[in-house]
Amino acid sequence: MTSSKVPALRSQIERFPIAGSFTISRGAKTEAVTVVAEVSRDGLTGRGECVPYPRYGETPEATLAAIQAMEDAVRGGLDREALQAAMKPGAARNALDCAFIDLEAKQAGLRAWSLLGRPSPGERTTAFTISLGAPETMAAAAAKAAHRPLLKIKLGGEGDAARIAAVRKAAPESELIVDANEAWAEANLEANLAACAAAGVTLVEQPLPAGRDHALARIKRPLAVCADESVHDRGSLAPLRDRYDAVNIKLDKTGGLTEALAMADAAQALGFEIMIGCMVATSLSMAPATLVTPQARFVDLDGPLLLAHDRNHGLRYDGSLVYPPESSLWG
């Protein structure tokens, strides 16, 4: 019989329908597919959720298998510090890292931020995403969301100037940030940046493909540009300093909250502004990310707002305000 003092690892794929569909330059989807890891010991269980991302060659099945491959190591006493070297950064390590933190917090009787020596996250305004579509479709969606103070607009290349102009007209008071998801080219970069500047956009995320973004260092950028697909963990920060003004930290890229917090510290030291971002997922994915919000200029944790339903004990959203998690959810 396995002793309750010996850690146990369980994991599974879970699916949550999206309200309508979610469209970016790489395509549309109608459900969020997540992988959940649970680490248990002494009657306590810590949970973590990740979203495998095909852009980085991840699938739910391979991510689940990567987590399951760690079962013997977890039973043998693998801890969160050793996990950082035992697994490569990515979605699978994120789920395990966050599960370890949740378990550690429960064992210590502390909230996760106190356990990690971080400031308590307060309520923050999160961006609300407008999916890619025709200008009139995006304008209609923006008009419905025009009461929200911060909108994130998905763009996709050809016709983006018309899209952002239409959105601005429909939501004249909202702060706008734009995410091109690598869809622009060097040939239209300056024209698209100028169109965004003319619409009063505050920030443009990942306009050029990762690895082909050197043009950003050669032009005068009329507004702040943020790296997403070009940046993953601390090791990828320094080479981007001449190209980007901000970095989007996502736990599924960093491989967990442990690296995300270290990356936020390193990014600030290099002079980057910080966005804390997310994939479309449940509140269990968002909860650990709230610990990065005290360092973030931009908060983009609207994943649960895009779902048809969230999991039980989800984060509290009051309009565009998102609040720290209750311990019944995580941490």
Question: Using CA atoms, how far apart are residues 133 and 9, in angstroms rounded to an integer?
Answer: 42
Do you know the residue count of the chain? 331
Q: How many CB atoms are located within 10 Å of the residue 29 CB?
A: 14
Q: At CA 231, angle to CA 229 and CA 236, rounded to 5?
A: 150
Write the single-letter amino acid at 188: N
Whether 220 is catalytic: no
Write the single-letter amino acid at 151: L
Q: How far is CA 102 from CA 35, 243, 301, in A?
A: 16, 36, 19
Q: How many CB atoms are located within 10 Å of the residue 122 CB?
A: 11
What secondary structure letter does DSSP report for 119?
Answer: P
Which entry of 106, 152, 154, 253 is annotated as an active-site residue? Answer: 154
Whether 250 is catalytic: yes
Which entry of 144, 152, 169, 250 is annotated as an active-site residue? Answer: 250
Helix (H, G, I), strand (E, B) or coil at 8: strand
H helix runs in the chain, sequence order: 60-68, 71-75, 80-86, 91-108, 112-115, 135-144, 160-170, 186-198, 251-254, 257-269, 283-289
Q: How far is CA 177 from CA 35, 126, 160, 187, in A?
A: 29, 11, 13, 22
Residues catalogued as catalytic: 154, 250
